[in-house]
Amino acid sequence: GLMCNEKGMIIDDGVSTCINDNHFIMTTTTGGAASVYSTLEMWLQTEWSDLDVHLSSVTDQFATVAVVGPNARNLMKVLCQDVDFERNNFKFMQWRPGTVCGVQARIMRISFSGELAYEINIEANYGRYIWDEVALAGKQWNITPYGTESMHVLRAEKGFIIVGQDTDGSMTPMDVNMNWILAKNKPFSYIGRRSFSISALNSQDRFQLVGLLTKDTDVVLPEGSHIINNKGSSIGYVTSSYFSPILRRSIAMAQLKSGLSKINEIVIVKIVQEKQGLKEIPCEVSSSVFYDTEGEKVDGNE
């Protein structure tokens, strides 16, 4: 889900998990936990004080090990025997309680890479133990740790945004082409809903998130580079930029004025290259989803 402020602007994203009728766990962006907690408390105390809701920050109480990739299901079957991991019985965006290497855990089927993935949620004191056990059991599939840079490339290939990098506090869900995430028929309101009816927020002249494909596939655009029009004025900028090993080319995401109406058009990105100075790089405006556009990878292989 996305979290918006009362003006309809995206301020965070995460996953809300229903443990039971009266217990929910909400994850946030890594750096957003404290601010999201404060925002929820503010709304609870000032606007919805009649609700029987209590908030607790449990960030320090849990550790999470993400098991990601086409063999993730096979590895989870080795680690945990009291959960049915078959594709149709444990679906994407579901969770199960289970015992992982003797430790009580919550296993979430969520993914920030677009691949088949499970997140093993355990008490923090068991974090290192479970990490080591996952690494040991995964040797037969040549398991390897991956860092944030690898994760950033994977999520960019799928067009998954990072709040605060691909958004800047002035973007609505519509601006990042996520209108589908907004509930249309729920009887109750949610923060930001009224603002989405303001005509200015529905203008096609706003900055919108798109993909950029450089004509020279080896050129990786520096993040922050400006997109210019034929008059030399800035009409947007690059928010995320990487070289994709699976696609064997560079990919980028950008905020571009009226961007969604410019798909397949050629724009110019101005960059500074050492020794060569300013250089204009032609790019094709594309969808921000570059790989696995139908979302087939998230279920893995049978």
What secondary structure, in 3-state letters, does 15-67 show? CEEEEECCEEEECCCHHHHHHHHHHHHHHHHHCCCCCCCCCCCCHHHEEEEEE
Share of the chain above pLDDT 70, in %: 100
Q: What share of the chain is helix, strand, coil (3-state, %, to 5)?
A: 25, 30, 45
pLDDT tens digits for range 76-100: 999 999 999 999 999 999 999 999 9
pLDDT band (50, 70, 90) for residue 274: confident
Residue 20 to residue 123: CA distance in whole angstroms = 19
Between 275 and 103, where is the model more confident?
A: 103
Residue 256 to residue 290: CA distance in whole angstroms = 17
CB 295 within 8 A of CB 113: no
pLDDT band (50, 70, 90) for residue 302: low
CB 64 within 8 A of CB 15: no
Place of tokens 């995460």: 14
pLDDT tens digits for range 230-252: 888 999 999 999 999 999 999 99
pLDDT band (50, 70, 90) for residue 275: confident
Whether 229 has a pLDDT exceeding 70, the answer reads: yes
Of how many residues is the chain composed?
302
CB 272 within 8 A of CB 219: no
Lookup: tokens for 223: 């993040």
Lookup: tokens for 119: 């997140």
Whether 273 has a pLDDT exceeding 80, the answer reads: no
AA identity, residue 276: Q
CB 276 within 8 A of CB 219: no
Residue 15 to residue 25: CA distance in whole angstroms = 8
What's the whole-number average pLDDT of the chain? 94
Containing 112, the helix (H) or strand (E) segment is none
Residue 228 to residue 217: CA distance in whole angstroms = 20
Residue 69 to residue 117: CA distance in whole angstroms = 6
The residue ranges of DSSP E strands in 184-289, in sequence order, are 207-214, 226-228, 234-244, 249-257, 266-273, 277-286
Q: Long-range contacts made by residues 236-243, C-beta under 8 angstroms, separation at least 24?
A: 236/207, 236/267, 238/212, 238/269, 239/165, 239/166, 239/209, 240/152, 240/156, 240/162, 240/165, 240/166, 242/152, 242/153, 242/156, 243/153, 243/218
Kindly report the pTM of this predicted structure.
0.91
Whether 35 has a pLDDT exceeding 80, the answer reads: yes
Letter string b/e over residues 58-90, b meaning 16 or more CB atoms within 10 A of that residue's CB: eeeebbebbbbbebbbbbbeebbeebebeeeeb
Whether 38 has a pLDDT exceeding 80, the answer reads: yes
Place of tokens 């990098």: 165
Letter string b/e over residues 231-240, b meaning 16 or more CB atoms within 10 A of that residue's CB: eeeebbbbbb
Q: Which of 284, 215, 218, 221 is nearest to 248 (CA)?
A: 218
